[in-house]
């Protein structure tokens, strides 16, 4: 609780760019999980009726701005010298495209798949990700590219397309992950 209060106070003291600079600096130490919502997509919510994961043409995909946003995100990490040791992604094409455009590769991890259309999977998948966050220690940083519903279930916070919520293991097992900060590459 004390660390969360300190983080909240620091957040109030730091304004936009300064807060982001502080988060970038923390990432240099490692030990963080970065929850990235896929980059901007073509307009819409969810996927068209009858979509399949095996066929990107049936899904809501990245827009041209989203593809550029993903590339800028990867460039921001490289320019700042922030090491991302592993990239995992939802199987949805918009997530895999975001991950590979930003970081060149990614491994599909079903725990990151959207449960927007299957809310019964929410608790199991969220627990799997929570357990994984517990295992990440310095100097490793891990990027997880997923969906708004997944990030909100884990952190309790909404997230915009392309935005990154930086988390670490909670002080006490069983508690919600500690949100360190947010990054939004313009």
Answer yes or no: CATH 3.50.50.60 is held by domain 2-183. Answer: no
Whether the predicted pLDDT of 87 surpasses 50: yes
Count of beta carbons in the 10 Å neighbourhood of residue 105: 10
Whether the predicted pLDDT of 1 surpasses 80: no
C-alpha span between 147 and 158 (Å, rounded): 10
Give the three-class secondary structure for 22.
helix
Record the pTM: 0.90
Mean pLDDT of 157-166: 96
Residue partners of 142: CB distance under 8 A and separation at least 6:
32, 33, 34, 84, 85, 86, 87, 88, 132, 136
What counts of helices (H) and strands (E) characterise the chain? 6, 6
Note whether 173 and 134 are within 8 A (CB). yes
Q: What is the pLDDT of residues 20-74, one digit of tens each?
A: 899 999 999 999 999 999 999 999 888 999 999 999 999 999 999 999 999 999 9
Whether the predicted pLDDT of 8 surpasses 50: no
Q: Which residues of 108-131 are buried (b: 16+ CB within 10 A; e: fewer)?
A: ebebbbbbbeeeebeeebbeebbe
Q: Which tokens go with 108?
A: 């599909």
C-alpha span between 124 and 91 (Å, rounded): 17
Angle at 156 between CA 153 and CA 157, to 5 degrees: 110
């Amino acid at each position: 609780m004390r660390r969360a209060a300190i983080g909240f106070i620091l957040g109030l003291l730091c304004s936009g760019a300064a807060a982001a600079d502080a988060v970038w600096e923390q990432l240099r130490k490692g030990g963080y999980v970065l929850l990235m919502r896929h980059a901007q997509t073509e307009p819409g919510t969810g996927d068209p009726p009858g979509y399949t994961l095996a066929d990107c043409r049936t899904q809501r995909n990245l827009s041209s701005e989203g593809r550029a946003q993903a590339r800028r995100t990867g460039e921001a990490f490289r320019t700042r010298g922030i090491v991302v040791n592993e990239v995992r992604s939802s199987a949805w094409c918009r997530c895999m495209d975001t991950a590979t455009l930003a970081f060149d590769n990614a491994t599909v991890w079903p725990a990151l798949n959207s449960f927007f259309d299957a809310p019964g999977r929410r608790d199991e998948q969220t627990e799997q990700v929570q357990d994984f966050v517990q295992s990440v220690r310095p100097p490793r940083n891990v990027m997880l590219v997923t969906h708004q519903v997944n990030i909100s279930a884990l952190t309790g916070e909404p997230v915009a397309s392309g935005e990154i919520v930086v988390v670490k293991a909670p002080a006490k097992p069983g508690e919600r992950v500690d949100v360190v900060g947010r990054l939004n590459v313009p």
